[in-house]
Amino acid sequence: MGMAACLAAALLISVLLYMFYDLLVRQKTEHLSCCHLSEVNPALYVEKSSSDVITTPLDRAHPDHAHPGHAHSDHAHPDHARTGHSHSSALDMADPSPDDAQFLFLDNTSTAQADWSGKKMEREGFEAASVTKETGDEVEVELSNGQKLEVNKEDLQKMNPPKFSKVEDMAALTFLNEASVLHNLKERYYSSLIYTYSGLFCVVVNPYKMLPIYSEKVVEMYKGKKRHEVPPHIYSITDNAYRNMMQDREDQSILCTGESGAGKTENTKKVIQYLAMVASSQKVKKDSSTGELEKQLLQANPILEAFGNAKTVKNDNSSRFGKFIKLNFDVTGYIVGANIDTYLLEKSRCIRQAAVERAFHIFYYMVAGAKDGLREELLLEDFSSYRFLMSGHVEIPGQEDDEMFEETLASMEIMGFNEEERTGMLKVVSTVLQLGNVKFEKERNSEQATMPDNTAAQKLCHLQGINVTDFTRAVLTPRIKVGREVVQKAQTKQQADFAIDALAKAMYERLFRWILARVNKTLDKSKRQASSFLGILDIAGFEIFEDNSFEQLCINYTNERLQQLFNHTMFIMEQEEYKREGIEWTFIDFGLDLQPCIELIERPNNPPGILALLDEECWFPKATDLSFVEKLLNTHSSHVKFSKPKQYKDKLMFTVLHYAGKVDYNADSWLTKNMDPLNDNVTSLLSNSSSPFIQDIWKECKTSLP
């Protein structure tokens, strides 16, 4: 297979992933029905313009349908592709169980169909057809149901011969176009095959159910095998990256990208699981410290998920932070340590969530699972008592929060967290909930805030080891420096509310950072020298919600930058490498430069981008979210990637055209979110807490009060 085909396949799939969401996933008035016709007449796909209702075999316990994501390993060059009829050698060399085999190997018999139950969906997409007559740019086509249509040639896409049905690598397709890629992914998915290669990519369509293809037997099947020797799998991508690291002595990275809910985090866990099993031997297993490290590596994730994941509209276990996991290997290929970097924790989620969403999992685990003495020590109440848990106890189907609490505590023990640390962590989580119950009122004859009931304040101060009188004074009348003098400044109700919200977010963020540092300390205590690393990037996927705020802009901007990096690496640097090596090659401009959108967001000046304008607006005392949006409209009204929403729901709305689609943003509270001002008086109190744990997470704020 030529490299041009691989590049083209990678390019097309990167463009199509989000189109696939629209055509196959979202329940709109759309229809995707791609069936092969006889080869007697020229076969093609015609874009269907009318709505239709079909029965589609999909089954999942989630409101959306199957989501595709994709994984890519740097330096994982593709071998030749296998079509759906070349599995005998793979079956000879491995002996998976029947349960494994049906989800790994293609079975072209008529009865081979995924065991998904039928579900009616309306779709509009591509329809199989054959050409009956051509007149200039107009073509008459006949659909599979006998209906004849006249369409423009530009609306037609060629169909591949039947021998390419359910092909494992779409770079092998004779005709590589939108319809053929979507059709191939759909056909493989309906045959229980969720992994498909597309040149340099491995595309994963999320089945939203556990499949028996991650057992130790399957791991052995992929160990040391070339890509063309085994069916598509995340294990194959991982093994290729591992072997390249060992052979070339070059660091490797696996990128898991896709929309929220595509399955990035689950596949990241499979990568780690595979490496933990492969990068060990009987000799190494005798070393108890190494075996313990591998166990701890697998147990770090449940802790980070408990404190960093949450239920969203699209995903019951959505990562609300990004992470880059570095697994360090010695010269013999054994894991000697690991390090995790995190990005973009959605700290606002601990104080505010959409109606059907949850705050971070740990809040629900703790309130549901803490019993007896621990419950009393944490001063816990019922779900309905907490203002920050806006929808009460939002449950996740098939998950028991009290059981998850026990599992989280067990993971902490394996990671070496002592009882004092575990209790300290949970006290911070409980404190965040109590902060939401602190209520202020406005004094009758002034704008000054008061706290008529300090019950919540007493509880949180007890949990944090600080004096309630000092805390109340620090919130209502903080001491500030004016010139050389120190004065007390009374706060308004709005200022006090903002201060409490900011404190809750900062407290949770600091706890999360402490947990991460503690996990890294446990994972990186081996004395053996690391030779190279294999990194796995798992960031929050691109998000288009009904209400998109500052957090979505940050997440989508990150995805925009990542996609730009990938495009540059795959389609620009690869071709420059051909030139350096003297390969005859005509440079192809794939038209994938995302810089206009990136500059709209990040440009510092001439003109300033969205983030720079937001920073600038935060300096003005009388600035508001509305004045910020007005400045945006005045500055970028003619920008190709910026616009006003067609239907104004709110004056605070503006639209950005990202590579994955248009997103309407609501700038409500953006100035506050960008500043997140912390009350120095309160942070100083916390840094001088009677609790060593609380002192530790606020240690850089340890100053004497004004």
Residues taking part in catalysis: 260-261, 265, 315, 318-319, 541, 543
Mapped onto helix, strand or coil, the DSSP state of residue 55 is: strand
Cis geometry, peptide bond prior to residue 607 (ω within 30 degrees of 0): yes
**Which of 7, 180, 2, 196 is CA-nearest to residue 103?**
196
The span from the first CA to the last CA of the chain, in angstroms, equals 71
Helix H or strand E encompassing 494: helix 493-523
Helix H or strand E encompassing 470: helix 468-476
Bridge partner residues of 242 (DSSP): none
Check the annotation: does 265 bind a ligand.
yes
Check the annotation: does 264 bind a ligand.
yes
Inter-residue contact 211 to 115 (CB < 8 Å): no
Mapped onto helix, strand or coil, the DSSP state of residue 508 is: helix
Give the whole-angstrom CA distance, residue 100 versus residue 85.
Answer: 18
Give the whole-angstrom CA distance, residue 567 versus residue 569.
Answer: 6
Tabulate helix, strand, coil % of the chain (nearest 5): 45, 20, 40
Inter-residue contact 328 to 530 (CB < 8 Å): yes
Angle ∠(331,333,336) on CA atoms, nearest 5: 85
Beta strand 642-643 with 30-33: parallel, antiparallel or unpaired?
A: unpaired
Read off the amino acid at residue 648.
Y
Q: What are φ and ψ of residue 27, in 5° steps?
A: -85, 80
Give the whole-angstrom CA distance, residue 387 versus residue 352.
Answer: 9
Both tokens assigned to 263: 């399955």
Q: Please say whether the dihedral angle defined by the alpha carbons of residues 407, 366, 669 and 697, taken in this order, is positive or negative.
A: negative
For 41, half-sphere exposure in the C-beta direction (CA atoms, 13 angstrom radius) is 17
Q: Which residue has the tokens 């397709």?
A: 173
Give the whole-angstrom CA distance, residue 596 versus residue 603.
Answer: 10
For 475, half-sphere exposure in the C-beta direction (CA atoms, 13 angstrom radius) is 26
Beta strand 156-158 with 148-152: parallel, antiparallel or unpaired?
A: unpaired
Bridge partner residues of 133 (DSSP): 140
Check the annotation: does 263 bind a ligand.
yes
Beta carbons within 8 Å of 199's beta carbon, 6+ residues apart? 5, 6, 7, 8, 9, 10, 13, 78, 169, 170, 171
Check the annotation: does 2 bind a ligand.
no
Beta strand 30-33 with 118-135: parallel, antiparallel or unpaired?
A: parallel
Give the whole-angstrom CA distance, residue 575 versus residue 588.
Answer: 8
Check the annotation: does 261 bind a ligand.
yes
| DSSP character at residue 116 | P
Give the whole-angstrom CA distance, residue 535 versus residue 486.
Answer: 50
Buried-state track 457-470, b at ≥16 Cβ within 10 A, e below 16: bebbbebbbbeeeb
Q: Please say whether the dihedral angle defined by the alpha carbons of residues 473, 476, 477 and 480, taken in this order, is positive or negative.
A: positive
Give the whole-angstrom CA distance, residue 436 versus residue 507.
Answer: 13
**Which of 313, 421, 413, 429 is CA-nearest to residue 360?**
429
Check the annotation: does 260 bind a ligand.
yes
Q: Residues at the annotated binding site?
A: 258-265
Q: Residues at the annotated binding site for ATP?
A: 258-265
